[in-house]
Amino acid sequence: MGSVDERMKKELELYIHIPFCMKKCEYCDFLSFRADEHTQHAYVEALLREIAYYGEKCREYTVTSVYIGGGTPSWLDEELMSGIMSAVRSHFSLSPEAEISIECNPGTVTDGKFAAYRRAGINRISIGLQSADERELRLLGRIHTYGQFLKTYELARRNGFTNINIDLMNSLPGQTAESFSHTLRQIIRLKPEHISVYSLIIEEGTPFYVRYQEDAKRQSAGEPTAALPTEEEVLRTTRLTEELLSDAGYEQYEISNFAKPGYACRHNIGYWQRANYLGLGIGAASLMENIRYTNVSDLYKYLEKTVHIKEELRQTAAPGSGDVANQAACRQSAQVIPMTNLHETAERIPRKAQMEEFMFLGLRMTDGVSRERFAQNFGIEIEAVYQEVMQSLKEEGLLAKRAGQIFLTKRGQEVSNYVLAQFLL
């Protein structure tokens, strides 16, 4: 690093998908499944081929963050994970300051694995806990107890990790603001650097959907339901969460994310700011220079296609795929990131949709969006596109402006789905 050429490189975030879980949780619709050791090895070999291929194609980029997600990446053998990280280092130009995160589930990590992660340069651990209540953990179908989580957390600290996130989930069946605050208080005592709190969503195709779909419909219509907390209860939980975390020194930097000063997740911020990111592995999505690609989601197709990664000038089921201009634009992009046989879809994002994404994603952050950045990206003032919407949201007390930033007020955050929908063009 340090030469002029290195300094002129553009920034890139890497996402690496590990789709394996010991058991499927009851609410989960992520691309994840159980697999034997042989399949895990074959998958990592395929990943190494993809890493080598795109490392070559991304020479003009410096990787500023790596996020290894899933699935349960910590279920993989430590040698496999070390192999993935050394391939990233040898094929990409990885910034020495890069944030490198791995998702870990309690019950799948050992002392040896944490030590291997440290040696591989991983510097951020994200632990999926969801709840400190044993009844809730069983209901969610998690493989671990709260006690196992505590051991995992201590192991991570003992191995020298100083940047740890804990994932929690609210809006669970039978949960109240008080019962969730019990989970939160236990976690605050551990002093992790980062806490994420997402609301349970009842997703189609999951056991929870079979059990709770009627309750979910009633909940979103504002009606009382037997199983899920009412909208008012969820709001009370959100307010209590913000209060407890703020009192404990956490800054809310995004609707669902809280961090001690200096520990906001750089990878996620890049995603909300629409940075270039390259997704590797099955089903992984990439956004490169405003073209969105999605990898094939079928494991066996992925294993087979990575053996001979071929550049392809084709369009598949992406919206606008029949559009000649869109195809031409995607072909041009082949100069940087070629479409390959690994891609299921590739779509150039139209300018209007880019603006919408800029607003939807950016307004999730408490700092909001920058007027200057909007003008730089689109060559037009934000007011020229959104003046009317912004004015009316301001009058409703949902949006505010300060020092060139436009952001949601507290009330705006509470009804963020409504507010963000107003930015559709």
Given candidates 14, 15, 32, 241, which one binds ligand SF4 under the rule CB under 6 A? Answer: 32
Regarding 198 and contact with ligand SF4 (CB under 6 A), the answer is no
Spatial distance between the Cα atoms of 265 and 336, rounded to a whole number of angstroms = 27
Spatial distance between the Cα atoms of 299 and 305, rounded to a whole number of angstroms = 10
Please state the separation of Cα 355 from the chain's center in Å. 20
**Where in 120-139 is the site for ligand SF4 (CB under 6 A)?**
128
**Nearest CA to 118 among 83, 154, 82, 147?**
82
Provide CB contacts within 8 A for 113, sequence distance 6+. Answer: 74, 78, 81
* 11/167 with CB nearer ligand SF4: 167
Given candidates 12, 14, 18, 28, which one binds ligand SF4 under the rule CB under 6 A? Answer: 28
Shortest reach from residue 35's CB to ligand SF4, in Å: 12
Give the tokens for residue 41: 């090895």
Contact criterion met (CB below 8 Å) for 11 and 66: no
Regarding 21 and contact with ligand SF4 (CB under 6 A), the answer is yes
Please state the separation of Cα 257 from the chain's center in Å. 11
* 26/367 with CB nearer ligand SF4: 26
Shortest reach from residue 315's CB to ligand SF4, in Å: 31
* 28/369 with CB nearer ligand SF4: 28
Contact criterion met (CB below 8 Å) for 130 and 90: no
**Nearest CA to 44 among 236, 248, 268, 280?**
280
Shortest reach from residue 323's CB to ligand SF4, in Å: 35
Shortest reach from residue 135's CB to ligand SF4, in Å: 17
* 32/64 with CB nearer ligand SF4: 32
What is the CB-side half-sphere exposure of residue 404 using CA atoms within 13 A? 6
**Where in 90-119 is the site for ligand SF4 (CB under 6 A)?**
105
Of 23-31, 113-121, 148-156, 323-331, the segment contacting ligand SF4 by CB under 6 A is 23-31
Shortest reach from residue 33's CB to ligand SF4, in Å: 8
Q: Report the helix count and the strand count for the chain, using DSSP H and E.
A: 17, 15
Regarding 18 and contact with ligand SF4 (CB under 6 A), the answer is no
Contact criterion met (CB below 8 Å) for 111 and 152: no
* 25/369 with CB nearer ligand SF4: 25
Give the tokens for residue 286: 């990439």
Shortest reach from residue 150's CB to ligand SF4, in Å: 18
- 69-88 mask for ligand SF4 (x: CB under 6 A)? -xxx----------------
Task: Name residue, tokens 């404990």.
Answer: 248
Longest dimension (CA), the chain: 63
* 126/315 with CB nearer ligand SF4: 126
Q: Which residues of the shown chain bind ligand SF4 in the complex (CB under 6 A)?
A: 21, 24-25, 28, 30, 32, 70-72, 105, 128
